[in-house]
């Protein structure tokens, strides 16, 4: 990359959803370190405010905005509050339950669709005008390998993540010719503090079994590193899709566990 090609991060703003924990918080830290002004959002006000304070104390530019992305009016008010937006990282989301299709709770399916898909739709629609007006925008969609293949007990989450993948792919087709690129990052097994605990509604033993015997699952920092790399490529380079898994995971259903 030549200095001329490299998108400058000076005065550029990155919005990260779901930045109160895990991959979102790690991505906010890395994008701030890369020079972006970061706006960290999630529902938990105390957490996003603490993260913004931490980043500011470290000499970075960061602000917090508590936000539920399923609330369209709140999302629109958030968009109206921003001076600019150059990068949007659609990270908020997650899984609820791991039940078979035969017995899965339709309410879990609805909530997963609402958060992962409709939430991403809301904020992408609300920020697309600013991303375009800035002249060099990037939309990142944190889908999952669950957006590219299924596994038993995963159908509700897999369906939502497939929809998120379709959102990213279709948006890329529709806005080609505008100065906005669409990057999808699809991680496999990532060991974050809350993802599996949320999925199993606070059952930490069940959550621990997800990672049992896996020597080195991905970390939030590994995924944040991938997102930051993709976002800092020259503006004309669009990383359509990046699938990133731990070495111990060959597919959604082939995970090596040490005995
Ligand atoms: P976490 O559970 O740690 O993070 C989820 C984040 O989403 C939290 O910050 C949560 O914050 C936020 N969130 C949830 N619902 C809403 C909402 N309605 N409005 C705004 N924010 C919301 O999980 P991870 O960091 O592990 O996952 C981040 C993303 O990566 C998710 O989309 C997940 O599906 C995806 N992913 C995760 C993998 C993994 O193995 N961990 C693998 C592949 C993809 P708050 O509760 O404060 O609102």
234 torsion bin: left (phi>0), alpha (psi -120 to 50), beta (else): beta
In the reported structure, the alpha carbon of residue 152 is separated from the centroid of ligand 1 by a whole-number distance in angstroms of 21
Determine the pLDDT at residue 259. Answer: 79
Question: Dihedral (C-alpha) 82, 24, 29, 27: value to the nearest 10 degrees?
Answer: -100
Angle at 189 between CA 184 and CA 194, to 5 degrees: 95
In the reported structure, the alpha carbon of residue 198 is separated from the centroid of ligand 1 by a whole-number distance in angstroms of 9
- Among 185, 70, 180, 195, residue whose Cα is nearest residue 120: 70
157 given a catalytic annotation: yes
Determine the pLDDT at residue 8. Answer: 66
| Ligand 1 site residues, Cβ closer than 6 angstroms | 17-18, 20-24, 42-44, 47, 67-70, 91-94, 115, 119, 142, 144, 187, 189-190, 192, 194-195, 198, 220
pTM over 0.95: yes
Burial of 102 by CB count in 10 Å (0-12 exposed, 13-18 middle, 19+ buried)? exposed
Determine the pLDDT at residue 2. Answer: 45
Best residue among 21, 65, 69, 113 to mutate for probing ligand 1, ranked by most atoms within 8 Å of CB: 21
In the reported structure, the alpha carbon of residue 20 is separated from the centroid of ligand 1 by a whole-number distance in angstroms of 9
For every one of its 259 residues, what pLDDT tens digit does the chain have, with 9 covering 90 and above?
Answer: 444 455 566 689 999 999 999 999 999 999 999 999 999 999 999 999 999 999 999 999 999 999 999 999 999 999 999 999 999 999 999 999 999 999 999 999 999 999 999 999 999 999 999 999 999 999 999 999 999 999 999 999 999 999 999 999 999 999 999 999 999 999 999 999 999 999 999 999 999 999 999 999 999 999 999 999 999 999 999 999 999 999 999 999 999 999 7
3-class secondary-structure state, position 134: coil
What kind of fold does domain 13-248 have according to CATH?
Answer: Rossmann fold (3.40.50)
What are the backbone angles phi and psi of residue 24, rounded to the nearest 5°? -65, -45
H or E segment to which residue 25 belongs? helix 22-33
What are the backbone angles phi and psi of residue 146, rounded to the nearest 5°? -70, -10
Q: 164: which 2 tokens?
A: 């998120």
Determine the pLDDT at residue 3. Answer: 43
Sign of CA dihedral 209, 213, 95, 79: positive
């Amino acid at each position: 990359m030549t200095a001329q090609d490299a998108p400058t991060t000076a005065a550029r703003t990155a919005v990260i959803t779901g930045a109160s924990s895990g991959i979102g918080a790690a991505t906010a830290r890395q994008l701030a370190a890369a020079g972006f002004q970061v706006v960290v959002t999630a529902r938990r006000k105390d957490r996003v405010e603490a993260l913004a304070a931490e980043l500011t104390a470290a000499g970075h530019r960061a602000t917090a905005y508590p936000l539920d992305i399923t609330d369209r009016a709140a999302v629109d008010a958030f968009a109206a509050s921003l001076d600019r937006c150059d990068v949007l990282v659609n990270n908020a989301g997650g899984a609820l339950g791991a039940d078979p299709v035969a017995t899965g709770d339709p309410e879990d399916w609805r909530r997963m669709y609402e958060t992962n898909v409709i939430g991403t739709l809301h904020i992408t629609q609300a920020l697309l005008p600013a991303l375009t007006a800035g002249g060099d925008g990037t939309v990142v969609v944190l889908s999952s390998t669950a957006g590219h293949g299924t596994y038993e007990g995963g159908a509700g989450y897999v369906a939502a993540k497939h929809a998120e993948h379709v959102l990213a792919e279709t948006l890329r087709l529709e806005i080609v010719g505008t100065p906005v690129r669409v990057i999808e990052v699809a991680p496999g097994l990532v060991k974050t503090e809350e993802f599996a605990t949320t999925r199993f509604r606070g059952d930490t033993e069940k959550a621990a079994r997800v990672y049992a015997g896996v020597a080195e699952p991905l970390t939030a920092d590994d995924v944040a590193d991938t997102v930051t790399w993709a976002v800092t490529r020259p503006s004309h380079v669009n990383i359509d899709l990046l699938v990133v898994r731990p070495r111990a995971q060959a597919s959604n259903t082939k995970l090596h566990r040490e005995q």
